[in-house]
Amino acid sequence: AQGVDIDRSTLAGWTGQAAALLDPIVSRIRDEVLKADKIHADDTPVPVLDPGRGKTATGRLWVYAADDRASGGTAPRATWYRFTPDRTAAHPMAHLAGFRGFLQADAYAGYDGLYRSGVTEVACWAHFRRKVFDLHERSPTPLTTDILEQIGALYAVEAEVRGRPPDERHRSRQERSRPLVEALRGVLDTALRHLSPRSDMAKAIAYGTRRWPALLRFLGDGRLEIDNNIAERALRGIAVGRRNWLFAGSRAGGERAAAVYTVIQTCKANGIDPQAYITDVIARIADDWPARRWDELMPWNWMPPADQPTAQAA
């Protein structure tokens, strides 16, 4: 981006050193996420070079995000990434050990152990809608049209209450969204009685009805979101990045990438220019920044030098 060609191994070395210096920042971002009332979680595959085979294996990059702007909250917005060599349930169980709030995620069975241990599941209406929308795109029917229109009405309510306090969101949802959801459930149940259980449409509907209590959870608490788009947005940059860097060179490389993504995305969530932030903070840390003042360096507290921009460029 600066017009200078630098060897990849040199860049990798610099990234490793930067990640090490930023480790205390990453740890504090993790702590901020884990103390939140609700966490949005998702994961995505990351190819990792397997030196023993000369091929790539598939690791995972997990994201855990705390962001309550939509309910008028003012707590720091924090996004924490973790790299793992595979996608087993042990990883989210370890990452969220001790957390007992709301977890909004997809239907991955690896989260089920968390739900059994005191975490409250919040399902994602966007995932359910996508199941129906994919069928509608291939072959629209009155049923798919009806379901999508009713879900669209739910999202219209959400657009109006975005940024409002939890009590206002809760009241609007009870008055306006709950009747919509009850009517939609009637449509779904009627459809299931007439569809073959093996049909794609029945499977799409069953995806929602099996998770119905978790899909309805947002109605009962104004702090909650209708979907998991916060976490999905936090992974979009990873998808773009994969087209540029292709794969992580090692497990250690994946862990370094997770640390750097944690800082970058948390900066973006707080309206801070990541490049300006990282440049300044690494210099301060390398200059023996006092441990008692670490909180001043967190993205939500950071104040840049007078000649550096504060806000992220649009």
For residue 305, the model assigns a pLDDT of 83
For residue 313, the model assigns a pLDDT of 45
Query: Is residue 313 in a domain?
Result: no
CA distance 309 to 306: 8
Kindly state whether residues 190 and 135 are assigned to the same domain. Answer: yes
Kindly state whether residues 38 and 103 are assigned to the same domain. Answer: yes
C-alpha dihedral sign at 204, 210, 213, 217: negative
Kindly state whether residues 136 and 51 are assigned to the same domain. Answer: no
Kindly state whether residues 106 and 233 are assigned to the same domain. Answer: yes
Query: Is residue 314 in a domain?
Result: no
Kindly state whether residues 187 and 169 are assigned to the same domain. Answer: yes
- Lookup result for tokens 């990351």: 46
Kindly state whether residues 243 and 171 are assigned to the same domain. Answer: no
Pairing relationship of beta strands 78-84 and 55-66 according to DSSP bridges: antiparallel
Kindly state whether residues 94 and 176 are assigned to the same domain. Answer: no
For residue 6, the model assigns a pLDDT of 56
CA distance 26 to 99: 18
Query: Is residue 306 in a domain?
Result: no
For residue 314, the model assigns a pLDDT of 38
CA distance 194 to 57: 44
Kindly state whether residues 106 and 135 are assigned to the same domain. Answer: no
Q: In three state form, how does the secondary structure of 152-189 look?
A: HHHHHHHHHHCCCCHHHHHHHHHHHHHHHHHHHHHHHH
Residue 67 belongs to domain spanning: 8-121+228-297
Which residues of the chain are under the pLDDT cut of 50? 1, 246, 313-314
- Per the document, the length of the chain is 314
Number of domains in the chain: 2
